[in-house]
Amino acid sequence: MKITLIGASGFVGSRLMNLLKESSYELLNIDKQQSRFFPEITVIANVLDQEALDRLLAGTDLVVLLAAEHRDDVTPTSLYYDVNVGGMRNTLSAMEKNGVKRLVFFSSVAIYGMNKPNPDEDFPADPFNHYGKSKWQAEQVLQAWYPAHPDWNINILRPTVIFGERNRGNVYNLLHQIAGGRFLMVGKGDNVKSMAYVGNVVAFVKHLIENQMEGYNVFNYVDKPDFSMNELIPLVSRVLGRKIPMIHFPYWLGMAGGYCFDALAFVLRKKLSVSSIRVKKFCSTTQFASVKAHEHFQAPYTLADGLSRTLEYEFLHPAQDDVIFYSE
């Protein structure tokens, strides 16, 4: 089987290619950025380049679409829709031209919006930001496409926040603050944070490729059971072997500080690590159901395993190279 990955030079894609290379798959990565780990199978091209996609998908059996604009601060905001929605349309067109009928698409739980009560795959979409809205619009393109292509196999993956070794996203930032003793607990700390370890996410994608070969399927992906903030800090303390205090600050005070940083960022014309949006995200409950994904899939790592592996790699035995990936 030849698998073409679009936008796989980043964090998740690199781990996925590493896993898939252990099997007998022929791989091609199409990305606007060179892969630090797999340059020999990477072709530089943009998902917005229809001609390039038409040419490069020749001979492909299955496409994994990861390419996306996803950071909080993308400007202009039209880029979310150009890449996430327009890129979907271009990919489907290139697949049809080349007779490719299998797609694994990385969507997001961002389509559900914030503070929703443990939504499963049938929960109504209610995205609150441009990233979530553009991912939902990309799914709607697939929904409209599939009735005219019922012999296709479309698997949509909606992961929660993904963390792991080498990633510099929100989970890493949180762990770094806790590990460095600079952590302030805003709110009561009983808010739940659904997370997904990258090693489990890529293993699930491999499971879909090998086992979910028919139909139109949608899966949330979360590693269970979820951790609250009050449960996360003792785990970090145990793995790192140091006592980490938990001092709670009222929510209103945390938001006031976030707005102050917003104003400072505006004056300095630069992005800061603290903002009102990040405080709001931190204090919100982000919990999602993932029963469907785990019905026939056994994750190779528990959530505690994934957090422990990440903490040990990043803070106890860091790599000697400089390969890291930035994401929200």
Q: What string of DSSP letters covers 145-166? A: HGGG-TT-EEEEEEE-EEE-TT
| 88 belongs to a structural domain | yes
Task: Provide mean pLDDT across the span 74-101.
Answer: 94
Please compute the mean of the pLDDT values over residues 50-66 and round it to a whole number. Answer: 98
Q: What is the mean pLDDT of residues 197-219?
A: 98
Region of 142 please: left (phi>0), alpha (psi -120 to 50) or beta: alpha
Average pLDDT, the chain: 93
CB 201 within 8 A of CB 162: yes
Strands (E), the chain: 2-6, 26-31, 42-44, 62-65, 102-106, 153-159, 161-163, 167-168, 185-186, 192-197, 216-221, 223-228, 248-249, 325-326
- On whether residue 320 sits in a domain, the answer given is no
Count structural domains, the chain. 1
On whether residue 327 sits in a domain, the answer given is: no
Whether residue 258 is contained in a domain is answered as no
The partner residues of 153 in beta bridges, in order of sequence, read 102
Return the closest-CA partner of residue 66 out of 2, 140, 159, 141.
159
Residue 141 covered by a domain: yes
Does 242 fall in a domain? no
For residue 219, the domain's CATH number is: 3.40.50.720
Q: Reduced to 3 states, what is the DSSP secondary structure of residue 106?
A: strand
Active site residue 131: yes
- Give the per-residue pLDDT at 98: 98
Is the model's pLDDT at 74 over the cut of 80?
Answer: no
Residues 2, 94, 96, 58, CA torsion sign: negative
pLDDT of residue 83: 96
Domain, as residue range, for 210: 2-163+195-224+287-300
Dihedral in degrees, nearest 10, Cα atoms 226, 120, 127, 327: 40
Taking phi first (over 0 means left), then psi (-120 to 50 degrees means alpha), and beta for anything else, what does residue 19 get?
Answer: alpha
Taking 80 as the threshold, does the pLDDT of residue 231 lie above it? yes
Which of 180, 160, 320 lies closest to 237 in space, CA to CA?
180
Residue 134 in any domain: the answer is: yes
Segment 185-196 mean pLDDT: 89
Reported as a single tens digit per residue, the pLDDT across 127-136 is: 989 999 999 9
pTM, two decimals, is: 0.91
Q: Which whole number is the average pLDDT over 279-290? A: 84
**Is residue 45 one of the residues assigned to a domain?**
yes
What does the pLDDT look like over 92-116, one tens digit per residue? 999 999 999 999 999 999 999 987 8
Pick the catalytic residue from 131, 172, 197, 221.
131
Confidence class of residue 185 from pLDDT cuts 50, 70 and 90? confident
